[in-house]
Chains A and B, each alone.
Chain A
Amino acid sequence: MHGFANPKRFLALAKWLTPLLLVSGIVLSAIGLAWGVLNVPPDRLMGDTVRILFIHVPAAWLGMGGWTAIAISSLVFLVWKHPLASLAARAAALPGAVFTAVCLATGSIWGRPTWGTWWVWDGRLTSMLVLLFLYFGYMALAQAVAREGGSSRIPAIFGLVGAINIPIINRSVVWWNSLHQPPSITMGKSAIDPVFLWPLLIAVVGFSLLFGGIVLARMRALLADIQADARLRRKALGNEIA
């Protein structure tokens, strides 16, 4: 567990893993999206609108995946005091928020022709909007702690508490009658025809790799920031003494 607590070892690994994840993520996402948008037959009821599926579902998956990453990193930070874990949580927040926003926007665009409305306050849509606000709160808190100083435990606790929303989003369409459809893919069974399923899976894998690459890149940037800060501080101290 503490093998990668050493920033040097982490940086050596991240240096080659970051471009690998970014490039493979972009390639797979492009293949999945192009396949889904250009080369898939129209759905029996929704027609061409079904193509939004290939961006909406991966975005939703990573919106929730982002907070799951924050929660796990927060747990590791709180229990093992792993210094990189709190950085990982901070790095995952912005891409997670962006994917959540993309999910909400594409869902709204999809809802207009399909349901006949841009937005309804049903369980799934509302809990997803709450997730976006949780991201905003987390980012503000983490930034305040980093800038003004304070215990990194505060955002970590917020990250863990906020995780309660994830199973609620996941189960919202099962527990409550909602306008949003119930899950199409459950325990190895799929109600999505294979012609739609394959490009969807490729897009999901591609988006996930891209997400991993973005988080690693942001962690490297945060580490570089901290190092630059420390160097400046040392310099300032050295000047005072001299």
Chain B
Amino acid sequence: MKAKHQRLVLIVIAVIALIAAGLLAAYALRNQASYFYVPTQMVEEPPAVGQAVRLGGMVQAGSLQTLADGVTVAFVVGDGDNTVPVRFTGILPDLFVEDSGVVAEGRLGPDGVFVADNLLAKHDENYVPRELEEMTEHQRAKVVAEAEAEAAQ
């Protein structure tokens, strides 16, 4: 075996070992490195009452309501399987709407309600222009068909 090939084999083995080590570390970290709990985790293994944690999930449609004092909002965060009720007093971020992602920083109260000190809105991977969003599926198909017919001419 030439020295060149020896070096290549040695380095490839070293890099593979390194990547394996890195992946194992990342895998072991998968819970600790998560930025927030999802509702299922919070229901199955609830954190200690009063412990500062983050809760992330979707704001359930129709669950958002403003309480009598006018500055406190209550809503339900769900992940499809489980839900956690949340209360928050303060200014809501612009992107905070029903049916969209949210990360709440706060603590679980003794009554099972998550009391948030801070809300962060989570943007998903979809980028859709406003005009298209407001159209129905049918209108959208029509616009696309018209554009295609125009291009074909």
- Identify the A interface with B (CB < 8 A): 40-47, 50, 53, 75, 78-80, 113-117, 120-123, 160-161, 163-164, 167-168, 171, 175-179, 181-184, 191-193, 195-196
Stretch at the interface among B11-19, B43-51, B63-71, B107-115: B11-19
Provide the residues of chain A in CB contact with B4, threshold 8 Å.
79-80
Provide the residues of chain A in CB contact with B127, threshold 8 Å.
43, 50, 53, 184, 191-193, 196
Residues B92-115 near A (CB distance < 8 A): 93-97, 100, 103
Provide the residues of chain A in CB contact with B30, threshold 8 Å.
175-176
Task: Say yes or no for B7: interface residue by CB 8 A criterion.
Answer: yes
Choose from B15, B26, B95, B125 the contact partner of A191 (Cβ within 8 Å): B125
- Identify the B interface with A (CB < 8 A): 4, 7-8, 11, 14-15, 18-19, 21-23, 26-27, 29-30, 33-38, 56, 93-97, 100, 103, 118-133
Given contacts A120-B35, A120-B120, A193-B128, 12 further A-B contacts (CB under 8 A): A41-B129, A42-B129, A43-B130, A44-B130, A75-B15, A79-B7, A171-B26, A177-B36, A179-B36, A181-B122, A191-B124, A192-B127
Q: Would you call B34 and A193 a contact (CB within 8 A)?
A: no
Provide the residues of chain B in CB contact with A78, threshold 8 Å.
7, 11
Q: Would you call B121 and A116 a contact (CB within 8 A)?
A: yes
Q: A196 CA to B152 CA in the complex, in Å?
A: 23
Q: Would you call A45 and B95 a contact (CB within 8 A)?
A: yes
